[in-house]
Structure 1
């Protein structure tokens, strides 16, 4: 092994590779693990896989005579109290340096060489027992036999029970046992000690960065090489410096005064350890004293990387795939599918488990520029002025408690769009960060994202691709509005994007910026949340007129939906529904007065031009009193040009016309809607078509529905007046409260000596079915043409229309006929039986 050079290299020079002998053999310099550091962790039993992998890498290097670089070792110089020496307080690299000290000692013993005196320059302040253990080792030798080193050392006279209570000592013994096992298996033992100088690293004195003591906490908390992120980081650096990789070979300047240029991978590595720390660090992570401190910090850092690569995957790497391909199990047996599964589906698990570098390497092989993009993004995020602007734009102006998260474990679909929008914007930025333009860009993004129903990943892929197309326009990061005015054929028919393009045109034509201010003021409404397209019908010529309109319309709604004043008799929602006089508008439309997470109320105003036109007409009134008078005139049938829909629905469908009239004129239907929404806050009622009839109903429910297209309720009421009763006790209270009967089918029965097993079912399709129980004696003989009913215990005797009130007499007559047949049959049977007696 080479002797320590008498001419010492200045400590902390990042351009010089150092051996452990160089590092610990400097005159009057000791290397100390400060008290703030955690225990030696590479030797823990829980870290066996990492320990064995590192051990094998070291021994393979020594056996083959190859070189291995262990990246940076960070520290800070402190003058000793007596002024006669210098302490190099090791802030990052403790795990590696401790492992190398143990390796030098073990191989010196195994090769029967003198134990280097400079090993004593390395000490622990974390616990006295750790330092004493290392000193005792350096003063004694070990005969390497088949026996584990831990067993031999524990039998030494100087080894006391105090060492067993030191987790660092326990870890050191485990590491020595790992060396022992690998040494016994080695086929080239003779070269091991002589090649120790092939293991080298760079020193970096953090005082050159002017960093504070907080760096101790941050760097110590990471637990180098012990988290999935640190394994990932090691693979990233290995990829960057790979001699066979043609990329990243340039020299760059480090951000340290007076230091020369270094290889690109070294600068990238030190940025990960220094400049980018604060991006992901939170003070509540701890002080570094607990072994679990910093795990979340590492997880945040890692989340940035795999979320960035997932974003790039659907934007560029797999850009030829349609958006709906990016769903779990869509491409299960393809490499594209496996890559997407790795980056997206497995992402929540990667904070705790490292699944390897395979797909990152595949992506970087085709897109090496992503590394430079990552560096650029993180450099911007490390700039406090820039990040303050970004953070402020991740808070919705209508709800300051709703903050988007980029790096936290909770990561919603909307967060993914914001993440992509910010990172893509930074990538496209040239020169200085334009804060005002970024705010405008994020206003556009926010207005688009907050008005989408995001149900799956393919929907975010579509939106991110659309937003990326806008950023591709020349000058988008200098003047986003001007860039958007150049869009003549939008690649997207997304309503929100088209609205933002129209707003950008209006704003760009206004030198005073008054239109932008007016739009922003309207967008802040807690219901509108950025989407105000319904206010732009017959656009006012002046900002003042538009602002007056948006202000009065804003008074019609609050954070809960329609204001209480206009919920009385459900005036405004009935007025909205009255504008839906086309079947294509009416069917499958969700009817609600509340502000819900899926924006159904606002969607009505944005989707249907007649409702949007009505809203603008209401907003052009002078005050709420005038608004209410206009609403009353509409509901009482006064026809208003351009806003009022006919009560006849297009298409000549009598049942749909009846449904439309009832929805416009019966407030109790909306009492029912309100009741269902209160009982089931996440459920909504729609106007649906079922079996040729129309209903207001909750999807996948047998009972939360009222059929509106027939006069079923009038027929049932008539029958109840002729000695029939409702089968279900719940139907009458429901009818009294909401004006109709509930559910697909309504059953009635008649109290009669002869009709105890007889019922009439009023079906949702509009017919009345006459039913008898199968178990009834002689039923097959009496009704030979009866057929099985849906309910197995019943038979259907007959079925006739029950759509109109005029059908009531026929239904009653049919019921009387059946009763008479059953009565006559039973009388005849009883007479016959009497005669036999």
Structure 2
């Protein structure tokens, strides 16, 4: 059964015109506007803002509810509905259209408390002048200051949260043009409205979800609805014994798995929902829903799952329930070499459950870890570590910062996972179809073939990969070897990489050596314009990261630099260099005078168009004035 076929797709304004919306007493207070929910609020508002600003439609997926007479009572979705209501109210006020559409705005009401219901009525009926507000003003202060506002209302958590949300909306959407038209004349923001009566659900679901008499968490709502969907869509074999069914496992086996991640109140609901959301995301092969769920895991709805993604969810949770986490943790020593902000976790399962603001690269690493566990019945520490290392090298040396690149990375991992039990053997024998990070994948294949020839080659390759400078990319070093020699590779690591490249910046002596290599124009990798002198502006390598990434396009500079330094000190290289007769004098001076480059603190220079002189720029930029020009020291 496809739930979307039984649901009606619509924007909020259509729902509000068609039916009354009443948040029932059984529901908890409005939470998205609470001060402590700033991250949740900001992520959701950012998604809505980007949708309106760039006219890129989104789906907020399912809003579940039951129809009572002419009123829809939402079981799940009240947070999104309330925020959308306040957003529509705000733009209607800005457009002076609230009185015209008053009857429709009165269709929205909170029944959780009398004060909440009265406040919603007052928002629509009473006078609130917001025409003169600036973006930095607080809309809540205007409302609280009105004579009809009861000070006791400030103690109502729903009203307090609504006021806070209105301030956030005013600040975020103040400069959006034609907001009302975009919300009501288009279908940019839509969801699926699912009538639970038509879906075959009854009041027992409400009872089950509220049996404790406490406000429901988003996870509890999600779990109950997913269990019902499993039953309705027949996703589980009827022959399954009770302890193998989803409903049992999520309350027992998988609860045990998450128990160590509970908070001070013995709750782990947020972490569990975040885990399930990310398991859903790593099954994606298309961009649908990725951005919304990435920004806000609570937007995940059971209706987004199909049979395949449900089966993957069960398989993954089962795999993590079986694995020995001590063995898993000890196999991931390379975690510390990942340039992620979160490096204090033992494994990627823990990172996904506990970390805030999970990134696309982190999800890819979680997918790699999960793929190994799902595919390989027997856990082998060495094979797992090799597999994770290869994916780490790819992730570290590629850009994964949007939906498209994320899907590309998932596709590559999905393809390579077939050989995750012996990734070096797989890479040495198979061509990779995926085009994602093709250069790094090609390098991984080259290293794999070298390792397969002799396992003695594995350690020096890994040691070089694990340097701060390389972080998995060692192609420049391999290019320095006519034939692979582990001893020579170790010399490159100790005599060059660890000695000269492992700090945040290279020394000016290294820059002077670079000026002796090839055509002596390595600085052409970067170009701009210095208006103060009206001359081309170049960079003599900004930092070590610049040396690694930017010169990868000019590999012979980095290759020759490495070869020169393996057996020689920079001073020796410079002393042995035979300066060409046609070399400009300014360049000779930079090479021969050790202290000259110290005058360019951030390593920027201007070079005349006829190459006859250069100017040392003290910082990254100077003012376009006589004063700025005088700060630049001319070298002739």
Q: State the TM-score bracket (shorter-chain normalisation).
A: 0.5 to 0.7
Q: CA deviation at 1:481?
A: 0.7
Q: CA deviation at 1:600?
A: 2.0
Q: Which residue of 1 aligns with 2:543?
A: 594
Q: Which residue of 2 aligns with 1:497?
A: 441
Q: How does 1:159-308 map to 2 (within 5 A)?
A: 226-242=216-232, 245-252=233-240, 261-262=241-242, 267-282=245-260, 285-288=263-266, 294=267, 297-308=268-279
- Give yes or no for contact 1:241–1:248 (8 Å, CA) kept in 2: yes
CA distance in 2, matches of 1:535, 1:462: 28
Q: Tell me: CA distance 1:232–1:734, structure 2 relative to 1, closer, same or farther (3 Å).
A: same
CA distance in 2, matches of 1:350, 1:225: 19
- Give yes or no for contact 2:334–2:389 (8 Å, CA) kept in 1: no
Q: Which has the higher contact order (CA 8 A, sep 6+)?
A: 2
357, 364, 377: which is aligned to 1:431? 377
CA distance in 1, matches of 2:517, 2:491: 21
Q: Tell me: CA distance 1:495–1:580, structure 2 relative to 1, closer, same or farther (3 Å).
A: farther
322, 339, 345: which is aligned to 2:292? 345
Q: CA deviation at 1:533?
A: 1.0
CA distance in 2, matches of 1:559, 1:671: 20
Could you report, residue by residue, the CA deviation over 1:334-354 in whole angstroms, capped at 9, with x for unpaired residues? xxxxxx2x3323443344xx5
Q: Which residue of 2 aligns with 1:675?
A: 602
1:481 paired to 2:424 = yes
Q: Tell me: CA distance 1:396–1:664, structure 2 relative to 1, closer, same or farther (3 Å).
A: farther
Determine which structure has more spread, i.e. the larger CA radius of gyration.
1
CA distance in 1, matches of 2:433, 2:64: 54
Could you report, residue by residue, the CA deviation over 1:74-100 in whole angstroms, capped at 9, with x for unpaired residues? xxxxxxxxxxxxxxxxxxxxxxxxxxx
444, 453, 458: which is aligned to 1:516? 458
Structure ranking higher in helix proportion: 2
Helix, strand or coil at the partner of 2:343: strand
- Give yes or no for contact 2:427–2:445 (8 Å, CA) kept in 1: yes
CA distance in 2, matches of 1:48, 1:489: 48
Q: CA deviation at 1:551?
A: 2.1
Helix, strand or coil at the partner of 1:478: helix
CA distance in 1, matches of 2:614, 2:361: 49
CA distance in 2, matches of 1:425, 1:197: 40
Q: CA deviation at 1:504?
A: 0.6
CA distance in 2, matches of 1:371, 1:470: 23
Q: How does 1:214-613 map to 2 (within 5 A)?
A: 226-242=216-232, 245-252=233-240, 261-262=241-242, 267-282=245-260, 285-288=263-266, 294=267, 297-314=268-285, 318=286, 326=287, 340=288, 342-351=289-298, 354=299, 356-358=301-303, 360-361=304-305, 364=306, 368-383=307-322, 385-386=324-325, 388-390=327-329, 393=332, 396-398=335-337, 402-403=343-344, 405-407=351-353, 408-427=355-374, 429-472=375-418, 476-488=419-431, 491-492=434-435, 494-510=438-454, 513-537=455-479, 538-561=481-504, 566-568=507-509, 570-575=511-516, 578=519, 580=521, 591-592=540-541, 594-595=543-544, 599-604=545-550, 606-613=552-559
Q: Tell me: CA distance 1:441–1:377, structure 2 relative to 1, closer, same or farther (3 Å).
A: same
CA distance in 2, matches of 1:47, 1:309: 26
Q: Tell me: CA distance 1:196–1:459, structure 2 relative to 1, closer, same or farther (3 Å).
A: closer
Helix, strand or coil at the partner of 2:410: helix
Q: CA deviation at 1:632?
A: 3.8
Q: How does 1:114-133 map to 2 (within 5 A)?
A: none
TM-score scaled by structure 1? Answer: 0.44
Unaligned runs of 5+ in 1: 1-41, 61-147, 152-194, 202-219, 253-260, 289-293, 319-325, 327-339, 639-645, 649-656, 677-684, 686-695, 697-705, 716-725, 741-837
Q: Tell me: CA distance 1:553–1:731, structure 2 relative to 1, closer, same or farther (3 Å).
A: same
Q: Which residue of 2 aligns with 1:719?
A: none
Unaligned runs of 5+ in 2: 1-24, 33-62, 70-110, 115-201, 529-537, 616-623
TM-score scaled by structure 2? Answer: 0.56
Q: How does 1:616-655 map to 2 (within 5 A)?
A: 616-618=562-564, 620-621=566-567, 624-625=568-569, 628-634=571-577, 636-637=578-579
Q: Tell me: CA distance 1:270–1:197, structure 2 relative to 1, closer, same or farther (3 Å).
A: closer
Helix, strand or coil at the partner of 2:379: coil
CA distance in 1, matches of 2:600, 2:291: 39
Q: CA deviation at 1:301?
A: 1.2
Tell me how many residue pairs correspond in the alignment.
426
Q: CA deviation at 1:234?
A: 1.4
- Give yes or no for contact 2:443–2:475 (8 Å, CA) kept in 1: yes
Structure 1 vs Structure 2 CA RMSD: 4.6
CA distance in 1, matches of 2:205, 2:627: 89
Helix, strand or coil at the partner of 1:461: helix
Helix, strand or coil at the partner of 1:402: coil
